[in-house]
Structure 1
Amino acid sequence: MKFRIADTFTANLSRLTAEEQKLVKQTTFDAQVNPASPGLKLHKLDNTKDNNF
């Protein structure tokens, strides 16, 4: 599976508290390393502006 992070990820991440940032970064890393990890669910995005997304 290809894992992509939007260009706006970092900008939006900076708007979170330090604790929220830590959790988001950890979850993102876990999803990259093992997308089938228990406790994580990935969902297909529907109705995106870019049909190739």
Structure 2
Amino acid sequence: MGLAKGLEFRAVGVMGCDEGILPLDERVADAADEAELDEIYEAERRLLYVACTRALEHLLLTGKTPTS
């Protein structure tokens, strides 16, 4: 997702927007404390924002489980 920064596309698809995938469970489990965990979530949130705002016309977000 970070590689899309500065680019634009007619359509963007972001797949795997599920807990445990975004962010990865491994990154969350490796957090040393609450501050590091907050930084992990914030960094993932920023990357997702970058990915979603690259779409000029169409945006598709998918996941395995129902989301809102």
What TM-score range do you get, normalising by the shorter chain?
0.3 to 0.5
Q: Which has the larger radius of gyration?
A: 2
Q: TM-score, normalised by structure 1?
A: 0.42
Q: Larger % of strand: which? A: 2
